[in-house]
Amino acid sequence: MKSKLRNLNYCNINLIDYKEAWDLQKDVLEARSNNLIDDTFFLLEHYNTYTLGRVADKKHLISSDSFLKLNKISVYEIDRGGDITYHGPGQIVGYPVINLSDWQKDTHKYLRALEEVIIKTCDYYGIIAGRNNQYTGVWIENRKIAAIGIKVKKWVTMHGFAFNVNTNLSLFKGIIPCGIDDKEVTSLNKELGKKIEIKEVKEILLRNFKEVFDYNKIKHINYDKFSLSAMNNTNN
């Protein structure tokens, strides 16, 4: 039985600069940590970016400067777990800023739950996806369709998942994705042989996120009019 009603702010963003989204998450995490707002979930796309997590080996960035410049790829060293990954148009990135104290104070269960959201979304499209015993993320056989890397501060989360939908997979060639050199990356587009509507995938991801994390109500936040005051906590 639920101890209290759990509400979720949802903000859909189209293309956004990585640094802008990172700074946004930090502000939202601070507000959530102080219980000023409800849990918040962002779904968005980034411009071409490579990010290196806390334990990343810089040798896994194998791009030349000319490759980075030609493809207009930004590079950031960031504060999430995990190694190196790619973000870009056609890839849906999910950033949940949620208080695990109101769900389950278990980061491993949280990672598995994020995987479950994506596994359920793949299932909607008739794709059998699952987990890999060695690596975090979502896999179709030995092909990785989603990467996951998080940060948890005082049981409040940030960063999240990167789900390849219509992603330009050739840009993964500039890195050793997640430091794994013997596995492929894939996308919904590649698996289904057709372009997938991003808006539809976001709707399915949101529905599955609500179900997996057991929220009662979703409040849609317009990013064009975004403010922390628009996401005032309604649980109190």
Q: Is residue 225 part of a domain?
A: no
Q: Other C-beta atoms within 10 Å of 165: how many?
A: 24
Q: How far apart are CA 3 and CA 72, in angstroms?
A: 48
pLDDT value at residue 236: 43
Confidence label for 54 from pLDDT (cuts 50, 70 and 90): confident
Q: What's the CATH code of the domain at 166?
A: 3.30.930.10
Count of domains in the chain? 1
**Residue 25: inside a domain:** yes
CB of 110 closer than 8 Å to CB of 150: yes
* 3-state percent breakdown (helix, strand, coil) of the chain, nearest 5: 35, 30, 35
Answer whether residue 228 shows pLDDT above 70.
no
Average pLDDT over residues 70-97: 94
pLDDT at 225: 60
CA angle, 216 then 44 then 231, to 5°: 45
Would you say residue 233 has pLDDT above 90? no
pLDDT (tens digit, 9 = 90+) per residue, 179-209?
777 789 999 999 999 999 999 999 999 999 9
The reported pLDDT for the residue numbered 175 is 83
Instruction: Say whether 89 sits in a helix, a strand or coil.
Output: coil
Is residue 159 a part of any domain in this protein?
A: yes
Range of the domain at 107: 8-217
- pLDDT value of residue 223: 82
- Mapped onto helix, strand or coil, the DSSP state of residue 183 is coil
Catalytic residue among 84, 118, 178, 198: 178
Radius of gyration of the chain (CA): 17
- Is there a catalytic annotation at residue 178? yes
Model pLDDT, residue 231: 66
Name the average pLDDT for the chain.
Answer: 92
> Residues of the chain with pLDDT > 90: what percent?
78
Dihedral-angle region of residue 126 (phi above 0 means left; psi in -120 to 50 means alpha; beta otherwise): left
Question: Is the pLDDT at 8 greater than 70, yes or no?
Answer: yes
- CA-wise closest residue to 44 among 174, 229, 221, 234: 221
Tell me, what's the pLDDT at 234?
Answer: 53
Over the stretch 104-153, which tens digit does the pLDDT of each residue have?
999 999 999 999 999 999 999 999 999 998 899 999 999 999 999 999 99
**% of the chain with per-residue pLDDT over 70:** 93
- Residue 52 in this model has a pLDDT that exceeds 70: yes
In a domain, 1, yes or no: no
